[in-house]
Chains A and B, each alone.
Chain A
Amino acid sequence: MAIATQGTASNYLQRAPSPSGLADVVDLILDKGLVIDAYIRIAVIGIELITIDARIVIASVDTYLRFAEAVNRLDLTQTEAAGLAELRDGGGGNGGDKAQGVFEGMKEKVSGRD
């Protein structure tokens, strides 16, 4: 399969042949794929230990306050002075870091749904 190894010739985008993290694999093989029926779907142990570090957006006072804090933390003089070019180079600081997000609340993947 020739295209499996042929990435996109791009600075903005890379197509990877397979997911980089377990969470993305879990996404595909626990949530998707053929299910035959409840009679045959079996016993899976251990899946409850797998959590996905994905923060779900929930409208709440807490969320709003964290948003307010995040926007107040923002150093606009830097982003304005540097302009989009700097952001393009990732010079905008921690913006791309998911762990710095303003939401909390872990989403858990739990086994046993039939």
Chain B
Amino acid sequence: MTVQTPPRRGADVSATALYCYGVTAADTASPLPGAGLGGASVEVARFGELAALTSAVSAGTVRARRRDLLTHFDVLGTAFEAGTVLPLRFGIVFADERAVVEEFLRPRQDELVGLLRELAGHVELRVTAHYREEAILAEAVRESPRIAQLRAATRGGAAAGHPALLELGELVAAEVQRRTAQDASALLERLRPLARRHELDQEPIEYQVLRASFLVERDRVARFDAALEEFARDNAGRIDFKYVGPLPPHSFVSLGDGGR
């Protein structure tokens, strides 16, 4: 889809606009030569204690190619090594530096400064847990006599169209769902005490036990690692994990309505 960039106020239309990656504290912000979208340099737009990380893009539209998305992510990651960062969602552009300050940093100053303080010293850790299909299905067969019975009755080449197949599938689905709820809450119970906040991705995805982000103090990351490690060991062979971080707090930033 294509949407026009906001109309410029009073100024003549120029060929460039400023793409904005995120906000950081003015005292930790520094330019990143050549690191921005399309190889442009990441510059710093300052206002008081705040600094927005920006780079020039062609006005009109921003492409979201693979490398553009990764660039956005990487700029934030680099800035995060120097200090607290408030990541913006991909695809936010201002007319020029004045607009970054007047339409964003100034009207949102208090909120942004508050978020920077609140999130200082914290990282986002992202946890995704998936069942191994074969393991979880085997559990369902072993522990539900009815599933085992229906499976025995419907196995083999002649099973297609067998009326019991539907009942079997429904029972297996329910069993997987039941285990998912159980394992997800057990996992959360272990991790939640070590995190300041957490955000669950709610979409039910096949064999996914949990997909969530945790806001964790830097000096508690090792304990978080250990807790997740222990859970992973207890569930070895049945649940696989993807564990990513420390990331800037993508999942833990939001602004209230208004402020413009």
Which of A's residues lie within 8 Å of B, judged by CB? 1, 3-4, 8, 10, 12-20, 22, 24-37, 39-48, 50, 54-57, 59, 61, 63-72, 74, 76, 79-80, 84-85, 87-88, 92-98, 100-103, 107, 110-112
Contacts and interface: CB of A to CB of B under 8 A. Distances in A.
Contacts of A26: 69
Given A28-B87, A55-B206, A76-B142, 17 more contacts: A4-B246, A10-B229, A17-B246, A25-B70, A28-B250, A28-B251, A33-B88, A39-B6, A42-B92, A44-B90, A46-B68, A57-B205, A71-B137, A84-B237, A92-B134, A94-B133, A94-B134
B166 A13 contact: no
Nearest to A72: B155
B232 interface: yes
Contacts of A110: 1
Q: How large is the interface on B (under 10, 10 to 19, 20 to 34, 35 or more residues)?
A: 35 or more
Contacts of A87: 132, 134-135, 237-238
B209 to A, nearest CB: 12
A29 B87 contact: yes
Of B94, B132, B206, the most chain A CB neighbours within 10 A belong to: B206
Contacts, number: 280
Interface in B41-89: 60-66, 68-70, 72-73, 77, 80-81, 86-89
Contacts of B244: 15-20, 24
A56 B206 CA distance: 6
A71 B147 contact: yes
B69 A34 contact: no
A42 B91 contact: yes
B142 to A, nearest CB: 8
Instruction: Identify whether the interface residues of B are mostly helix, strand, loop, or mixed.
Output: mixed
A39 B135 CA distance: 49
29 contacts: A3-B222, A10-B225, A10-B233, A13-B243, A14-B243, A15-B225, A16-B242, A18-B77, A34-B255, A35-B92, A41-B92, A43-B93, A46-B63, A50-B69, A54-B206, A56-B203, A56-B206, A57-B205, A64-B173, A66-B169, A71-B140, A71-B147, A72-B151, A76-B142, A92-B134, A95-B132, A96-B132, A98-B206, A101-B207
B130 to A, nearest CB: 7
Contacts of B103: 36, 39-40
> Binding site of A, secondary structure by majority: helix, strand, loop or mixed?
mixed
B170 A64 contact: yes
B251 A12 contact: no
Nearest to B4: A43
A-B complex: 8 closest residue pairs judged by Cβ atoms = A95-B134, A64-B169, A87-B237, A68-B169, A95-B132, A33-B89, A12-B232, A44-B91
